[in-house]
Structure 1
Amino acid sequence: MSAPSIRMDLLSVLRTLHDVRTDEVLLTSMGNGREWQQFEPHPLDFVHVPSSMGQTQSWGLGIAIAQPSRRVVACCGDGSLLMNLGSLVTIANVAPANFTLLVFDNGVYEVTGGQSTPASNIDQLIGQQIGFARLAEECGFRHTERITTLDEWQRRAETLLKSVGPVCAVLEVAPQTKDYSVRSPGRPKERVREFAATLQESG
């Protein structure tokens, strides 16, 4: 069995992302989107709360294709990524140089009640961790990393947002133990229209 490790606090990880972020489009979803709303809003933020999990990275890919001069950062959880693993192949095939995928790996489907993911169950059964960063590398991402400490993330965050993509960074974070439900950021139709207008005006 693999030895237990102390995982990073999600809010601390997001605070570092907030501190180094400049003019990148930043898409958050589910649990990370809930916590991201604690920071002051940015016009190029979009909290994506879809009816189906795993779509944020695909949506981010579309924006990266449409606006190749703008950096796009898509944030998803490990549970969401498991719902759409094929997106890794699609992203690698398109190979957008302006795209970074951040995967917050907490081992659970947090917003539905904290059930263990199949990947987490494999880790517990055979002591072999599912390597999402390795999966991205095998799919053809230009750069992949797995980050396990806050110090390491603070050193690497800015570079990972600027490096030639596609980039995939997997961050080991602890699951939330309370208040883990999704928090609505507001009316979706109005937010999409406002976000699209911002992209067109500033692109």
Structure 2
Amino acid sequence: MRTSRVAYMQVLADLVVDELVVCGLGASARYWKALRPRPENFYLADSMGQAIPVGLGVALAQPARRVVVLEGDGAVLMNAGCLSTVASTGATNLIVVIFNNDVYEASGGQPLPAAPVDYAGLARASGLALATNLEGADAFRSALQKALKEPGPAFLCLRTAYLPDEPIPAYDMRPLETRLIFMQSLGVSI
């Protein structure tokens, strides 16, 4: 049986302290906001496939800070080309965490057309040497602890249960508000 997103999110909440976090749309953003609300989180809305590029931009702009990206497997399929961009930059402060449940969860749970996909294999083929598929909260905890200490970029793909009846926390942030709060946390203004 696959591990729930909630169990993986609890590991993140236990280990992510000072890192900047960029969340893709849907369940990842909602759970993370409920578990660890803070100005250093950036929540993307209605932008499937853009969390990794945005996280990469943040990592390059903030090289002294570790950046963790939370994204879904469907979003990776929609923008797999961003993985080679991540690899080419050598952003050593970037950790990409993928929730692999084989469905487009944010839009209603439609099966991914290519499932199952070896996402770590895709990442390695794109040039990311530190890429692994993981199953279980303990395996994730160990891999995340290592990724938080060692230079990256790291790509951690989590085999995740799709639980359509599991309640997802409400989300009340607006994109402009999210952007302003995140920028203020970085000491940046426009």
1:182 CA displacement = 8.7
Please tell me whether the aligned partners of residues 44 and 195 of structure 1 are also in contact (alpha carbons under 8 angstroms).
yes
- Give the corresponding residue for 2:121: 134
- Give the counterpart of 2:14 among 2, 11, 19: 19
1:25 CA displacement = 0.3
Q: Gapped runs of 5+ residues in structure 2?
A: none
- Give the corresponding residue for 2:38: 42
Deviation string, structure 1 residues 153-198 (Cα, Å, up to 9, x no partner)? 1222221223211110000001121267795341211220121111
- Give the corresponding residue for 1:152: 139
- Give the corresponding residue for 1:83: 78
Look at both structures and tell me which one has the larger radius of gyration over its CA atoms. Answer: 1
Task: Classify the secondary structure of the residue corresponding to 2:63.
Answer: coil
Please tell me whether the aligned partners of residues 21 and 158 of structure 1 are also in contact (alpha carbons under 8 angstroms).
no
User: CA distance change for structure 1 residues 150 and 188 in 2, over 3 Å: closer, same or farther?
Assistant: same
Please give the TM-score of this superposition, normalised by the length of structure 1: 0.86
Please give the TM-score of this superposition, normalised by the length of structure 2: 0.91
Q: Which moved more, 1:99-108 or 1:150-159?
A: 150-159
- Give the corresponding residue for 1:143: 130
Aligned-residue sequence identity (percent) comes to: 33
Please tell me whether the aligned partners of residues 34 and 169 of structure 2 are also in contact (alpha carbons under 8 angstroms).
no
Q: Which moved more, 1:76-85 or 1:192-201?
A: 192-201
Please tell me whether the aligned partners of residues 74 and 101 of structure 1 are also in contact (alpha carbons under 8 angstroms).
yes
1:9 is aligned to 2:7:
no
1:54 is aligned to 2:49:
yes
Structure 1 consecutive aligned stretches of length 4 or more whose deviation exceeds 4 Å? 179-183
Query: Could you tell me how far apart the structure 1 residues matched to 2:170 and 2:177 are?
Result: 17
- Give the counterpart of 1:64 among 59, 63, 82: 59
- Give the corresponding residue for 1:178: 165
Deviation string, structure 1 residues 2-58 (Cα, Å, up to 9, x no partner)? xxxx11110010001110112100111222112222214122112222x23100110
Q: Gapped runs of 5+ residues in structure 1?
A: 1-5, 124-129
User: CA distance change for structure 1 residues 40 and 151 in 2, over 3 Å: closer, same or farther?
Assistant: closer
